[in-house]
């Protein structure tokens, strides 16, 4: 019995020694690779941290510039605001360049240059590098301005796709299309769009109220064709 215990102890010691030698051998063989991987991990983590810090800094700086330009616009310093928005559109960070472009278009509209504003909004709406949500907003802004300056067919060509049941901006698109049709004297089409707003359970209360007002005007006119 004692002999067996001694044998087991001896075997364990031999196995531990062998494992130790194998580990040492593996370390000698793969040490450069292991150290290299460890260095890459450390550098990668550090690099990610630096990049996140840089992103936060640039975003904050662009945000401050955007707010400064907004203040200038609110203070009626239109030329100064336009200058700041133009520069931000060129070298801003993140979403601020496209927001600056949209504000520039808005300034043009406020100054009475609807044609230039429409062109700018449509350019944003067709820019594949701009997030889809912002492209849709730009198209709607263009279409809204087009109600007073373009035909119903032109307005429909820009935003009809945004009025579908699955569109998150369908209510605004339908209201714009309805108003454009009403202005064009196409009361049947105007009623169709406004009724779609009223029948949509998700439509905002304000949109429903305006749609009901337009329907009331159509009914009062007695013209449905």
pLDDT, tens digit (0-9, with 9 covering 90-100), for 127-161: 999 999 999 999 999 999 999 889 999 999 999 99
Indicate if the pLDDT at residue 223 is higher than 90: no
23 in a domain, yes or no?
Answer: no
Q: Decide: pTM greater than 0.85.
A: no
Report d(CA 91, CA 105) in Å as an integer: 18
User: In whole angstroms, what separates CA 131 from the centre of its chain?
Assistant: 4
Nearest-Å Rg of the Cα atoms of the chain is 33
155 in a domain, yes or no?
Answer: yes
Last residue of a domain, one of 113, 146, 179: 146
Question: Based on the domain organization, do 99 and 85 belong to the same domain?
Answer: yes
Cβ contact 196:165 at 8 Å: no
For residue 170, the model assigns a pLDDT of 94
Question: Based on the domain organization, do 68 and 138 belong to the same domain?
Answer: yes
96 in a domain, yes or no?
Answer: yes
Choose between 27 and 175: higher pLDDT. 175
Domain count along the chain: 2
Domain holding 93, by residue range, is 63-146
Least confident of 47-51, 59-63, 141-145, 164-168: 47-51
Question: Based on the domain organization, do 206 and 187 belong to the same domain?
Answer: yes
For residue 14, the model assigns a pLDDT of 42
Q: How confident is the model at residue 51 (pLDDT cuts 50, 70, 90)?
A: very low
Indicate if the pLDDT at residue 61 is higher than 80: no
Report d(CA 122, CA 114) in Å as an integer: 12
169 in a domain, yes or no?
Answer: yes
Question: Based on the domain organization, do 85 and 157 belong to the same domain?
Answer: no
The CATH number assigned to the domain holding 113 equals 1.25.40
Choose between 38 and 184: higher pLDDT. 184
Span 180-201, mean pLDDT? 94
Question: Based on the domain organization, do 157 and 135 belong to the same domain?
Answer: no
Last residue of a domain, one of 146, 172, 187: 146
Percent of the chain with pLDDT strictly greater than 90 = 48
68 in a domain, yes or no?
Answer: yes
For residue 36, the model assigns a pLDDT of 59
Helix (H), strand (E), coil (C) string for 86-146: HHHHHHCCCCHHHHHHHHHHHHHHHCCCHHHHHHHHHHHHCCCCCCHHHHHHHHHHHHHHH
Question: Based on the domain organization, do 175 and 126 belong to the same domain?
Answer: no
Question: Based on the domain organization, do 69 and 141 belong to the same domain?
Answer: yes
Question: Based on the domain organization, do 141 and 69 belong to the same domain?
Answer: yes
For residue 16, the model assigns a pLDDT of 54
Percent of the chain with pLDDT strictly greater than 70 = 72
Question: Based on the domain organization, do 191 and 156 belong to the same domain?
Answer: yes
Question: Based on the domain organization, do 135 and 158 belong to the same domain?
Answer: no
Q: How confident is the model at residue 181 (pLDDT cuts 50, 70, 90)?
A: very high
Report d(CA 191, CA 179) in Å as an integer: 10
Closest CA to 204 of 152, 156, 180, 168: 168
Q: How confident is the model at residue 10 (pLDDT cuts 50, 70, 90)?
A: very low
Last residue of a domain, one of 90, 117, 146: 146
The CB-based long-range contact list for 103-111 (8 Å cut-off, 24+ gap) reads: 103/69, 103/70, 103/73, 105/138, 105/141, 106/141, 107/73, 107/78, 107/81, 107/82, 109/145, 110/78, 111/78
């Amino acid at each position: 019995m004692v002999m067996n215990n001694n044998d087991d102890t001896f075997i364990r010691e031999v196995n531990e020694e062998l494992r130790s030698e194998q580990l040492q051998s593996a370390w000698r063989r793969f040490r450069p690779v292991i150290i290299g991987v460890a260095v890459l991990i450390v550098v990668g983590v550090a690099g990610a941290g630096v990049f996140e810090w840089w992103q936060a800094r640039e975003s904050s700086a662009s945000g401050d510039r955007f707010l400064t330009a907004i203040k200038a616009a609110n203070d009626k310093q239109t030329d100064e605001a336009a200058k700041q928005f133009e520069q931000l559109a060129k070298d801003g960070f993140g979403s601020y360049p496209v927001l600056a472009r949209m504000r520039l278009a808005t300034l043009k509209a406020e100054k009475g240059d609807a044609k230039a504003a429409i062109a700018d909004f449509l350019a944003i709406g067709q820019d594949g590098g701009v997030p889809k949500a912002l492209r849709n907003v730009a198209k709607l802004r263009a279409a809204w301005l087009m109600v007073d300056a373009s035909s119903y067919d032109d307005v429909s060509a820009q935003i009809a796709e945004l009025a579908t049941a699955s569109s998150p901006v369908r209510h605004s698109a339908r209201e714009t299309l309805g108003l454009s049709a009403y202005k064009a004297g196409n009361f049947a089409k105007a009623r169709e769009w406004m009724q779609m707003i009223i029948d949509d359970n998700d439509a905002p209360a304000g949109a429903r109220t305006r749609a009901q007002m337009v329907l009331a005007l159509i009914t009062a006119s007695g013209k449905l064709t």
